[in-house]
Structure 1
C-alpha cells in the first residue's frame, strides 16, 4: 500500500485539561477523507513530572469510544524514542496527543507529480503566526510610520 505524505503533530493541553473539543473537527477531516490517522498516542505528565503513556485502547471508555471511529486503521508506529522526545518537551501537569496521519488528499497530486517525472525538492509548513502577520501587514501603513516625525 502506498501512502500519501505523512505528518506528525504534538498537541499539548496545559493543566491536563483535555475535554474532547477537538474530536468533532478531527472527525470531519477523517470522514471527508482529507486525512487518515495512522497512530495516536496520549501522554500525560503530572505535576511532579511523572509520565504515563496510553494507546487508544488504554484510554477511559468514553474517550476511547470518541476516538475509536477516527483511528480505525491506527497501528502502533510511534516508537518509545518518539514518546521520550515528546515527554521531554511537555510541561508538567499537561497532556499531549501525539498524532501520526496521512494526507490522503495529497496522494493523487503526488502520483501526478511522479508520473510527470517531477520531484519535491523543498517544502515546509509555515507557522500560523507568521501567516497571520504577513496577511495583517500593510505596506502603506509601514511607509507612513517611517515618514512620520
Structure 2
C-alpha cells in the first residue's frame, strides 16, 4: 500500500455571537489554505435555534450580504464531520448565536510524517495545548522577567 503525505487532522468549534462575521477570520482561513499550511476538509456554520435546533448556513454567503465570502469552501464536506457533530457544536452556543465547525489537515506536517514512516518510525501520540494555557504561561514568564 502506498503511503500518502497526510498531516495531522484537527478540528475547531468557534462561537460567533449574534451569528455575525466581520471577515478578518475568513481572510486568515483563506490565507492559510492558499499558502498550503492547511487543507479544509469540513467547514460548517450553523445557527442555534431557540429550541436547540441547528440551521446550517450556506458557506458561500455567511454574512448574508449577497457577496460570496467563502465560495472556495462551498460544499467542503469530507464526511468526518456529521450531523451529530453539528448538533453537539450548536449545543455549545446560545440561541441566536452561530458555531463554525472546521476540520482541517495540517498539510505542512504530511511530508515529515511520511519521511519518518519511511525509516520505520510512527507517530504514536499527538495533542494540543489550549491557547489560553499557553498565553497564561507566557504572561507568567513575562511577569517573572520584569
| TM-score between the two structures when normalised by the length of structure 2 | 0.79
CA-atom RMSD in angstroms: 2.8
Tell me how far 1:20 sits from its aligned partner. 2.3
Label 1:5 to 1:72 Cα distance change in 2 as closer, same or farther (>3 A). Answer: farther
Q: Deviations over 1:88-125 (max 9, x none)?
A: 22222211111111111110111112112112222211
Tell me how far 1:21 sits from its aligned partner. 2.3
Does 1:99 find its partner at 2:102? Answer: yes
Q: Partner of 1:75 in structure 2?
A: 77
Structure 2 stretches of 5 or more lacking a match?
Answer: none
Question: In structure 1, how many angstroms separate the alpha carbons of the residues matched to 2:75 and 2:52?
Answer: 32
Label 1:116 to 1:72 Cα distance change in 2 as closer, same or farther (>3 A). Answer: farther
Determine which structure has the larger helix proportion and give its number: 1
Q: Partner of 2:36 in structure 1?
A: 33
Count of aligned pairs = 140
SS at match of 2:24: coil
| TM-score between the two structures when normalised by the length of structure 1 | 0.78
Q: 2:69 aligns with which of 66, 71, 89?
A: 66
Contact 1:16 1:95 in 2 (8 A): yes
Q: Partner of 1:56 in structure 2?
A: 59
Contact 1:49 1:93 in 2 (8 A): no
Q: Partner of 1:130 in structure 2?
A: 133
Question: In structure 2, how many angstroms separate the alpha carbons of the residues matched to 1:102 and 1:88?
Answer: 25
Question: In structure 2, how many angstroms separate the alpha carbons of the residues matched to 1:139 and 1:19?
Answer: 32
- Segment of structure 1 superposing worse, 76-85 or 26-35: 76-85
